[in-house]
Amino acid sequence: MKSHFRTIMAWLHTWAGLPCGWLLYLIFLSGSIGYLDTEIDRWMNPHFQIGVHDETADQRAATALARLQERAAGAARWFIVLPTDRNDPLVRILWTPQAEPSGATPRAGSALLDPASGQPLTSQHSLGGQFLYRLHYQLHYLPLPLAYWLVGLCSLAMLVALITGVIVHKKIFVEFFTFRPGKGIRSWLDFHNLLSVSSLPFQLMITYSGLVFFAFTYMPLVVVAHYGLDPAGRDSFASAAFEAGESYPRSGTPHELAPLGPMLRQAEARWGVGRVNGIDIRQPGDADARVLLRPNQDSPLRSTEIMVFDGRNGALLGIRPAVGGVAKAMHDLLLGLHEGLYAGPWLRALYVLSGLAGAGMIASGLILWAEKRRLRVERTSGRAHAGLRLVERLNVGTLLGLPIAIAAYFWANRLLPAGWPPRAAWEGHVLFIVWGLCLLHAAWRPVDRAWREQAWGAALAYAAIPLLNVLTCVRHAPSTWLAGDWVFAGFDLATLAVGLAFAALARRLGRRQPAEGLRA
Amino acid sequence: MSHAFAPGRRAIAWRLAAALLAGYAASNGLAIGLAALLPGGKAEAVLAATMLSFLLYALAVLWAFAARTPGLAWLGLLLLGGLGLLPYLWLDLR
């Protein structure tokens, strides 16, 4: 019995995927690249000499504390991020002002500290890898709440597409081993199935945990029902669920903060020297101040042990375990798995590849949709309807246009004049302008030509980046390769490999007969 | 995929609305009730139910398209959401 239910699920799989497909492709592509955010930051800010200033945690904390005192005296919370591993190359300070009487959320602030001067970085040379990372959930040019809801809606569609995709496929195990290349639509379907089945656990994890990141934005009503509508109720939930039931009210009596040095030494004795990653100070300058220290994350569990100190005299008040309740542990595990901050180089590479498999799954799904309908049009020698023509062109202009635009973002970083004040913002504009041009090109050229030309364009745009780097940057091949400068050498290798992959695709597209190719 | 299933535009619009709106109501109603029933303290239960609500929402979307008629899709989801709320109304608001 080929059940009616499965037919409906196949229909839903198709139509949940298609309308959200291009935005999901952007989310998966930029999110995958985002796993290399700090490496890209360093490539785009070559003048930063990370790791040459060997200060102790004490010295860094003292500098950060002085900056926070200047910028945010009287705040409800200070937070200092100390460099411990690849995730935080620079010292970062963050602060949250006191809550407003109206109950509105106060505007938090943050700054990175220049490792040379210890002063906040004011002019930004580049948006760096953080721009690509943020693109995957904040998008760009849009108000944040709108972006979060758009991304959330796409994530829900993705979840529905994953569940229906599993239901549709009876022979899910066999499909793991099935790939019949060079057979037109059949190959695209095999490719789609192979990518989806082999990376299914990752795709389910990344989609679901992505929704959990914004759980209380998308699904606020459960908290409202059980804790009430007012901010006090929200705070009491947040405290119970995420702060082990503690809250940090201000006593109103000023008191100087105890020196951090002895606290840091107790923490380093417990976790190891150089592992204190977060210094969380609640109500600094108050008699009831608390200092919470946490180590860097070395497992998929996002929460860590926390040492709580009395901010008045520096006494250790207690050690909060990393795991409290089951639900919070599940929450922290999902978020930790999504972020992958714990991942070393090999696991990080696997994260990137799994994310790219997701992007490939989405891309092949979009191509399949168009290919099937194009074939039907050809069989009946009818005219392609407007919807098909639109999808075909959006496919070229996004599936290839977006990678080209990301390459253009790297080109802009090397070619825009240094010291030009708006240059960082223009790196971002260049990405979107080039994407727009690719969409125009796709709309203007015959579709099979557009595929081939943009594939060659992508090949050139990536493969030439090492050369661009030789011409525009003092840190370039071969000296970076010989010196073991792995961020720069790795960037060269990665862009070269991506360029060659696009060249192979372009050659393949060139050989195809129009009837079985990506489509005329 | 297969083309045996080709609902009309109006039916699709009603089912889509059921999926997004009634599905949201159903998943929230069920999650609110679930939070009243789950063990381990109120905050833990609320957190767990909120996280589970996305799975419930996705399944509600499936139901909205699998139900025999668009009307049944709406009715089923609204009933489910209302039923889901019962443990909450019974235990928490008593």
Question: Å from B79 to nearest chain A CA?
Answer: 18
Does B47 contact chain A (CB < 8 Å)? Answer: yes
Q: Is the pLDDT of residue A482 over 80?
A: no
Question: Å from B80 to nearest chain A CA?
Answer: 16
Of A309 and A105, more confident: A309
Mean of pLDDT values over A218-235: 92
Q: Which helix (H) or strand (E) holds A324?
A: none
Cβ-based contacts under 8 A for chains A and B: 113
User: What pLDDT, on a 0 to 100 scale, did the predictor assign at position A178?
Assistant: 67
For A237, name the nearest residue in chain B, comparing CA atoms only.
B43
Under 8 Å between Cβ of A487 and A42: yes
My answer on whether A475 and A365 are in the same domain is yes
My answer on whether A396 and A456 are in the same domain is yes
My answer on whether A269 and A391 are in the same domain is no
Mean of pLDDT values over A478-490: 83
User: What pLDDT, on a 0 to 100 scale, did the predictor assign at position A176?
Assistant: 60
β-bridge mates for residue A306, sequence order: A320
Closest CA to A262 of A226, A310, A213: A310
Mean of pLDDT values over A44-69: 83
My answer on whether A15 and A149 are in the same domain is yes
Q: Is the Cβ pair A240, B45 closer than 8 Å?
A: no
Mean of pLDDT values over A111-126: 85
User: What pLDDT, on a 0 to 100 scale, did the predictor assign at position A117?
Assistant: 83
Confidence label for A266 from pLDDT (cuts 50, 70 and 90): very high
Residue A92, both tokens: 């970062």
User: What pLDDT, on a 0 to 100 scale, did the predictor assign at position A267?
Assistant: 96
Does B37 contact chain A (CB < 8 Å)? Answer: no
Number of structural domains in chain A: 2
Question: Å from A404 to nearest chain B CA?
Answer: 31
Which residue among A271, A288, A323 closes a domain?
Answer: A323
Q: Is the pLDDT of residue A513 over 80?
A: no
Helices A200-213, A144-168: crossing angle, 10 deg rounding? 150
Considering chain B, what is the average pLDDT of its residues?
91
User: What pLDDT, on a 0 to 100 scale, did the predictor assign at position A100?
Assistant: 76
Q: Is the pLDDT of residue A515 over 70?
A: no
Confidence label for B2 from pLDDT (cuts 50, 70 and 90): very low
Q: How many angstroms separate the CA atoms of A390 and A335, rounded?
A: 36
Q: What is the separation of C-alpha A63 from the centre of its chain, rounded to a whole number of angstroms?
A: 30
My answer on whether A114 and A153 are in the same domain is no
Q: How many angstroms separate the CA atoms of A154 and A175, rounded?
A: 26
Under 8 Å between Cβ of A92 and A110: yes
| B44-87 pLDDT, tens digit each | 999 999 999 999 999 999 999 999 999 999 999 999 999 999 99
Q: Is A277 helix (H, G, I), strand (E, B) or coil?
A: strand
Confidence label for A2 from pLDDT (cuts 50, 70 and 90): low
My answer on whether A136 and A29 are in the same domain is yes
Confidence label for B3 from pLDDT (cuts 50, 70 and 90): very low
User: What pLDDT, on a 0 to 100 scale, did the predictor assign at position B54?
Assistant: 98
Q: CA torsion, points A86, A91, A282, A222, in degrees to nearest 10?
A: -40
My answer on whether A259 and A357 are in the same domain is no
Under 8 Å between Cβ of B50 and B64: no
Q: Is the Cβ pair B50, A227 closer than 8 Å?
A: no
Closest CA to A316 of A249, A255, A269: A269
Q: Is the pLDDT of residue A86 over 80?
A: yes
Residue A496 lies in a domain: yes
Of A231 and A500, more confident: A500
User: How many other β-carbons are positioned within 10 Å of the β-carbon of residue A219?
Assistant: 26
Question: Å from B89 to nearest chain A CA?
Answer: 10
Q: Do you find a cis peptide bond into A478, omega within 30 degrees of 0?
A: yes
Q: What is the ipTM of this complex?
A: 0.94
Q: Is the pLDDT of residue A257 over 70?
A: yes
Judged by average pLDDT, the poorest of A17-31, A70-84, A90-104, A175-189 is A175-189
Mean of pLDDT values over A144-168: 96
User: What pLDDT, on a 0 to 100 scale, did the predictor assign at position A517?
Assistant: 46
Under 8 Å between Cβ of A214 and A155: no
Q: Is the pLDDT of residue B4 over 60?
A: no
User: What pLDDT, on a 0 to 100 scale, did the predictor assign at position A186?
Assistant: 83
Mean of pLDDT values over A468-477: 85
Q: How many angstroms separate the CA atoms of A59 and A56, rounded?
A: 5
* Ranges of each domain in chain B: 17-91
Q: Which helix (H) or strand (E) holds A305?
A: none
Q: Which of A170, A204, A222, A332 to mutate to test the interface with B (most CBs of B within 10 A)?
A: A222
CA distances from A393 to A107, A297, A408, A446, A507 (A): 42, 44, 20, 9, 20
Does B5 contact chain A (CB < 8 Å)? Answer: yes
b vs e for A138-164, b when ≥16 Cβ sit within 10 Å of the residue's Cβ?
Answer: ebeeeeeeebbebbbebbbbbbbbbbb
Q: Which of A219, A326, A338 to mutate to test the interface with B (most CBs of B within 10 A)?
A: A219
Mean of pLDDT values over A239-268: 92
Considering chain A, what is the average pLDDT of its residues?
90
Question: Which string of DSSP letters, residue by residue, matches A468-489?
Answer: HHHHH-SS-TTHHHHTT-HHHH
Nearest to B62 among A12, A227, A328 (CB): A12
User: What pLDDT, on a 0 to 100 scale, did the predictor assign at position A519?
Assistant: 47
Under 8 Å between Cβ of B5 and A7: yes
User: What pLDDT, on a 0 to 100 scale, did the predictor assign at position A467?
Assistant: 94
| A12-55 pLDDT, tens digit each | 999 999 999 999 999 999 999 999 999 999 999 988 776 655 77
Confidence label for A300 from pLDDT (cuts 50, 70 and 90): very high
The one-letter amino acid at A333: L
Mean of pLDDT values over A175-187: 71
Exposed, middle or buried: residue B39 (CB in 10 Å: 0-12, 13-18, 19+)?
exposed
Q: Which domain holds residue A263?
A: 57-121+245-323
* In the block, residue with structure tokens 């796993």: A35
Closest CA to A348 of A116, A32, A132: A32
HEC letters along A85-100 = CCCCCCCEEEEECCCC
Q: How many angstroms separate the CA atoms of A409 and A415, rounded?
A: 10
- Cα-trace Rg, chain A: 26
In A344-464, which ranges are continuous DSSP H helix? 345-379, 386-395, 401-415, 423-444, 447-463
Closest CA to A151 of A100, A213, A91: A213
Under 8 Å between Cβ of A445 and A453: yes
Mean of pLDDT values over A198-215: 96
> What percent of chain A is modeled with pLDDT above 90?
69
Does A172 contact chain B (CB < 8 Å)? Answer: no
Which residue among A259, A289, A323 closes a domain?
Answer: A323
Mean of pLDDT values over A61-85: 92
Q: How many angstroms separate the CA atoms of A332 and B7, rounded?
A: 42
Mean of pLDDT values over A72-97: 92
My answer on whether A107 and A28 are in the same domain is no
Q: Is the pLDDT of residue A324 over 90?
A: no
Q: Is A329 helix (H, G, I), strand (E, B) or coil?
A: helix
